[in-house]
Amino acid sequence: MRYIKPTIGILLIILALLGGYYWETQGRQSYQQIEVPVTSVDILKGERLGHQMVKTVYLDKGALVGGALMEKDIHQLVDSRATQFIPANSQIVREYFESSNTSFTKNRSVFSLPSSWIFSKSSSLRKGDWVEIYGEDISYFGRYQIAFVKDQGDVEIENPEGPYIEKNILERTVSTGFIHHVELYCTLEDYSCLLDYVKTTGMGLLLVQREEAD
């Protein structure tokens, strides 16, 4: 009997230590903290947000800023441009970003322009650029936004610095490959006009690069 009380005391001390360890390693996160996405790198104004720019950390619930997005909502902002400089480890707020303003609407879809259709294009062409499309006989078809720029292996052509670094057209002196074909946002009716022109005339298309949409 004389060993029971010391044994119980030791067990209580061990339980207290285990309880403290659990609180510091898991309990605090469970009751006082929440998992929140933050920027993993500095994001410059004008850069587009990518998945690789985001990480998750545990923060005290009281440290959440107004409008901070949770991890399940981040996909809504991927490919959006930053409206200001955002330091690394910042919480992600919708107001810090703006839509990349693509032309993907219910009336438009993505259509491919095969390499055999393209008579002329710039090597600086990138996803999101705007082009005016002409025929070899200078027939005008309209202004369209580029959805994808692909090499012969159907891999996206990017700036070497990464797909989310915006650069002026004349600053794109190098790329990750050679442009083989492109895909653009347009209506089925517009695409039918391009197809008809190529098939009936046997001539190709000129993609004239523009800085932005009108």
Asked whether residue 93 falls in the same domain as residue 171, the answer is: no
Flag whether pLDDT at 191 surpasses 80: yes
Task: Please give the average per-residue pLDDT across 126-149, as a whole number.
Answer: 90
Reported as a single tens digit per residue, the pLDDT across 95-112 is 888 765 554 555 778 899
Q: State which of 98, 123, 143 marks the end of a domain.
A: 98
Is 104 part of any domain? no
Flag whether pLDDT at 137 surpasses 90: yes
pLDDT of the residue at 4: 62
Asked whether residue 68 falls in the same domain as residue 148, the answer is: no
Asked whether residue 117 falls in the same domain as residue 63, the answer is: no
The residue among 100, 38, 48, 44 whose CA lies nearest residue 69 is 38
Flag whether pLDDT at 115 surpasses 90: yes
For residue 53, give every residue at least 6 positions away whose Cβ sits within 8 Å of its Cβ, in sequence order, or none. 39, 40, 41, 43, 164
Is 103 part of any domain? no
Q: Which residue has the higher pLDDT, 3 or 56?
A: 56
Q: Is 145 helix (H, G, I), strand (E, B) or coil?
A: strand
**What's the chain's average pLDDT?**
80
Q: pLDDT band for position 5 (50/70/90)?
A: low
Asked whether residue 134 falls in the same domain as residue 197, the answer is: yes
Asked whether residue 14 falls in the same domain as residue 89, the answer is: yes
Q: State which of 54, 78, 98 marks the end of a domain.
A: 98
On whether the CB atoms of residues 54 and 73 are closer than 8 A, the answer is no
Q: State which of 46, 79, 98 marks the end of a domain.
A: 98
On whether the CB atoms of residues 184 and 97 are closer than 8 A, the answer is no
On whether the CB atoms of residues 177 and 151 are closer than 8 A, the answer is yes
Flag whether pLDDT at 169 surpasses 80: no
Flag whether pLDDT at 118 surpasses 90: yes
Q: pLDDT band for position 38 (50/70/90)?
A: very high
Asked whether residue 135 falls in the same domain as residue 88, the answer is: no
Q: Which residue has the higher pLDDT, 59 or 199?
A: 199
Asked whether residue 86 falls in the same domain as residue 26, the answer is: yes
Asked whether residue 171 falls in the same domain as residue 193, the answer is: yes
Flag whether pLDDT at 147 surpasses 90: no
Q: Which residue has the higher pLDDT, 12 or 123?
A: 123
Domain that holds residue 20: 4-98
What pTM was estimated for this model as a whole? 0.52
Asked whether residue 124 falls in the same domain as residue 196, the answer is: yes
% residues pLDDT > 70 (the chain): 75
